[in-house]
Amino acid sequence: MSEQPLPKPEQPTPTLEVQPATPEDAAGVFEVQRQTWIDTYPNEEAGITEQDVRNRVEGEHGELVADKIAWWRKGIETSGENRAIFVAKDEGKVMGFVAPGIMDGQRRIGAIYVLPEAQGKGLGRKLLDKAIDWHGRDEDIYLHVASYNDNAIGFYEKNGFEKTGKAIEDLDARERGVVEIPEIEMVLKADGDSSDDWQAVEQQLPHLKDVEGGFSQAQRGLVALPDGKEVFVKVGTAENTRMWARKEVAVYKALEAHGFEHSPHLVATNADNSAFALEAFSPENGWDWQDNWTAERLAATLKAMDDLAALKLSDAERTIFIKSSISQDEDGWRPLLESPEMQEVLRHKLHGVGADDIAQGIDFTADTDKASKYKFADDTLVHYDLRADNCAWNPETGQVRLVDWNWAQYGDRDIDLAATLTHIQKSGFDVPAELIERVDPDAFHWMAGFWLNAAATPIWEGGDESLRDLQLLSGITALRLAGAKS
């Protein structure tokens, strides 16, 4: 739970001023949170008792209090462009607080609480205004609120927020085994928001034309708008695909803000950014999404990667890329070492595609030790998933357009290059030796383990088994490129 005000009918506005919190306010902030939770969240219809709430916010015997205060203190100390905590105090006592931040690519109000005895006096409105001012009005601002907290919902609606129709799963509570509090999402629309354009897109979704390539489980395709303009549409259909869509929207907005010319223009988004439309780059207009690599296409793609790496983002924008898709912890050699069954599956698959030399030559102990010594950098903005079907090429103009930014993060440039060059080499195009020389051979070796481990892992329910075949070939190709540099 993160975002719950407790307003009552407003009385004259107090003189309390809202100011940035200091570390000394941490205990007071927690006490406001504790009291308002106990006052607000017990609900007979939802089956939530006061003891359930106490167990979650303070522990059955108060054992969580110290850790909660320490958590708030750390949050105050690390406030910056991506998060802030503001308090209102009366003679040194914290009476209310708000903690706006950028989470999963969304601007959110965050936690907002007012002590029960201070409610109904306009303090909640002051805190909300502070959070909105902190964010600005150039993008949508979201919040989550208990679905049965009618007072809070009415307060937000009075201040311009509207329900998005989305229910929020209380995943943190589920993981901790404590009571889950049902929430809904609300949004304050940005000034000049693009969701109005989404209505035109949504009306054409029944006529969506499917596109080939990729392994996303989101709904994807091309639609023609009433004005004849064609756009590419991606619609999140489950919680995970909606999450990735929201990240992509945040990425496209950040890239456009910095003038990055190698990504499509974001045409429209729905209310919660879980669906969006991009300018389309269709084969009929000269764009190639197939594995037809040439020296010119490769040079243009590497130029786009260089331009991406050169971007200087603000701290707030960097939070979009916090979620890690490939990291030191994703080393695939170790799980292979620890599972004789996976080793057997992998060797069987390697023999099946004629890679007998690799099947016989793998030393899982030595390969694991080698991979453990490769140290990831995290200082460069990388795509981490560049291949032909998410890198459109126009041979007439010499331009490329990069899409599918789910894996983008601040990461290791050599790993990014190793992955891209492996995909290109696998397609049948011989990557020039001088380009392979740009990459640390251990990066190719590390990526080989990443792919071979995936190839030996059963596909998820409903997944496309051909993905595992491609990952096997990627692992083989990466190992051969690593050997070419050794």
For 272-305, the pLDDT digits (tens) are 889 999 999 989 889 999 999 999 999 999 999 9
Asked if the model's pLDDT at residue 401 lies above 70, the reply is yes
CATH number of the domain where residue 245 is located = 3.30.200.20
Confidence band for 410, pLDDT divided at 50, 70 and 90 = very high
Same domain assignment for residues 36 and 123: yes
CATH number of the domain where residue 364 is located = 3.90.1200
Residue 13, in any domain of the structure = no
- pLDDT value of residue 171: 79
**Bridge partners of 414?**
none
- pLDDT value of residue 5: 46
For 192-241, the pLDDT digits (tens) are 555 558 988 999 999 999 877 666 678 899 999 887 889 999 999 888 88
Query: How many whole angstroms separate alpha carbon 88 and alpha carbon 123?
Result: 8
Residue 2, in any domain of the structure = no
206's CB contacts (< 8 A; 6+ apart) are none
For 461-470, the pLDDT digits (tens) are 877 888 899 9
Same domain assignment for residues 61 and 168: yes
Query: How many whole angstroms separate alpha carbon 280 and alpha carbon 54?
Result: 52
- pLDDT value of residue 50: 95
- pLDDT value of residue 192: 57
Same domain assignment for residues 241 and 317: no
Asked if the model's pLDDT at residue 117 lies above 60, the reply is yes
- pLDDT value of residue 484: 66
Q: Say if CB 69 and CB 76 are below 8 A apart.
A: no
* pTM, two decimal places: 0.62
- pLDDT value of residue 6: 43
Same domain assignment for residues 270 and 321: no
Containing structural domain, residue 89: 18-188
Among the residue ranges 10-14, 174-178, 340-344, the one predicted with the least confidence is: 10-14
- pLDDT value of residue 415: 96
Q: Distances from the Cα of 152 to the Cαs of 37, 61, 269, 391, in angstroms?
A: 13, 29, 27, 45
DSSP of 302-370, one letter per residue? HHHHHHHHT----HHHHGGG-S-SS-GGG-SHHHHHT-HHHHHHHHHHHHHTT-HHHHHH--HHHHHHH
The pLDDT mean for the chain works out to 89
For 363-387, the pLDDT digits (tens) are 999 999 999 999 999 889 999 999 9
Give the count of domains, the chain: 3
Residue 157, in any domain of the structure = yes
Asked if the model's pLDDT at residue 3 lies above 70, the reply is no
CATH number of the domain where residue 171 is located = 3.40.630.30
As separate numbers, helices (DSSP H) first and strands (DSSP E) second, the chain gives 18, 15
Asked if the model's pLDDT at residue 7 lies above 60, the reply is no
Residue 308, in any domain of the structure = yes
Residue 389, in any domain of the structure = yes
Which of the listed residues 213, 246, 279 is the one where a domain comes to its end?
279
Rounded mean pLDDT, 318-343:
89
- pLDDT value of residue 367: 95
Asked if the model's pLDDT at residue 327 lies above 70, the reply is yes
Asked if the model's pLDDT at residue 70 lies above 90, the reply is yes
- pLDDT value of residue 182: 92
